[in-house]
Amino acid sequence: MKLLRFGAAGAEKPSMLDPNGTIRDLSGHVDDISGATIGPDALARLAAIDPESLPVVDAATRLGPCVGSIGKFLCIGLNYSDHAAESNLPLPEHPILFMKANSAIVGPNDDVEIPRGSTATDWEVELGVVIGKKAKYVSKEDALDHVAGYCVINDVSERDFQLRLTGQWTKGKSCDTFGPTGPWLVTADEIADPQALDLWLDVNGERRQTGNTSKMIFTVAEIIEHLSNLMTLHPGDVISTGTPPGVGMGVKPDPVYLKPGDVMELGIDGLGAQRQAVVQG
């Protein structure tokens, strides 16, 4: 299934994409697409609904983040071997973890705001993993059983805030609008192998990032194992799993960063695409 949320910010309604690509309203069956409604039993009930029985949603409607009431927004840094190489950094021994504030989360096609004082706002296409079943001390062999599905995330980053403001990366990752999420939550049964997905990102029509999740240093299963040994993962938690090469910070000889008027377009095979206009905050 491809689950999504539509409507005004803060008042989104649940929906699903039918086989023809039409958005169908699920609000008569479920309150939201959130941790409470993406467990195995709940997803089985949604899958049993005939999409043709659901009201059609106008295709022009705004799409919200594909998961509502996200619990923890966990992010893995430097998780692609080719991205580490472009950054001239050694491969990490363990997953690098930082948090992104939930207030950064926006819809997949909402504007991205350059924060006041920013000189280095950057792009990062990433595979998002949505937890559907409580995970504590799980092994990598069992880890994917706890995944409800996958989505596209743009881990927008302000590099000066991230690296020069003293403290954790969270400062440069949590500005308002820095977490476009969606368009769809694609349930895990539709993704045969999360380590075989192509990712891409364009800025103003120019290809900037091209990658494949096979280049991850730590697989999705290994990340879940690691995190669940540090903290309990709950349904509705989201993990952003790192970005392939091609970020603005890595452009040689001089980095290239976002400016008002730019347009980012990005996507992952089978998970849909996003489009964000860049505006001044």
Q: Of 254, 259, 251, nearest to 278 (Cα)?
A: 259
Ramachandran bin of 50, using left for φ above 0, alpha for ψ from -120 to 50, beta for the remaining angles? beta
Q: What pLDDT score was predicted for residue 244?
A: 96
Residue pLDDT, tens place only, 13-63: 999 999 999 999 999 999 999 999 999 999 999 999 999 999 999 999 999
Name the residue type at position 7. G
52 found inside a domain: no
23 found inside a domain: no
The percent of residues above 70 in pLDDT, for the chain, comes to 100
Q: What CATH number does the domain containing 173 carry?
A: 3.90.850.10
Q: Number of structural domains, the chain? A: 1
Q: Measuring CA to CA, how many Å separate 45 from each of 14, 36, 42, 145, 222? A: 14, 13, 5, 18, 29
* pLDDT level of residue 253 (50, 70, 90 thresholds): very high
Q: Which residues sit opposite 153 in a β-bridge?
A: 126, 181
Copy the structure tokens of residue 189: 């049964």
* pLDDT level of residue 10 (50, 70, 90 thresholds): very high
The domain in which residue 189 lies consists of 67-280
87 found inside a domain: yes
CB of 96 closer than 8 Å to CB of 227:
no
Q: Of 10, 136, 22, nearest to 65 (Cα)?
A: 10
Could you give the CA distance from residue 34 to residue 14 in angstroms, rounded to a whole number? 9
Q: Measuring CA to CA, how many Å separate 232 from each of 103, 138, 225, 228? A: 21, 10, 11, 5
254 found inside a domain: yes
**Average pLDDT of span 213-226:** 98
Q: Mean pLDDT over all residues of the chain? A: 96
Residue pLDDT, tens place only, 131-179: 999 999 999 999 999 999 999 999 999 999 998 898 889 999 999 999 9
107 found inside a domain: yes
Q: What pLDDT score was predicted for residue 83?
A: 81
198 found inside a domain: yes
31 found inside a domain: no
* pLDDT level of residue 180 (50, 70, 90 thresholds): very high
Q: What pLDDT score was predicted for residue 89?
A: 78
Q: Which residues sit opposite 105 in a β-bridge?
A: 179
Dihedral over Cα of 201, 243, 19, 58: its sign: negative
42 found inside a domain: no
pLDDT over threshold 90, residue 87: no
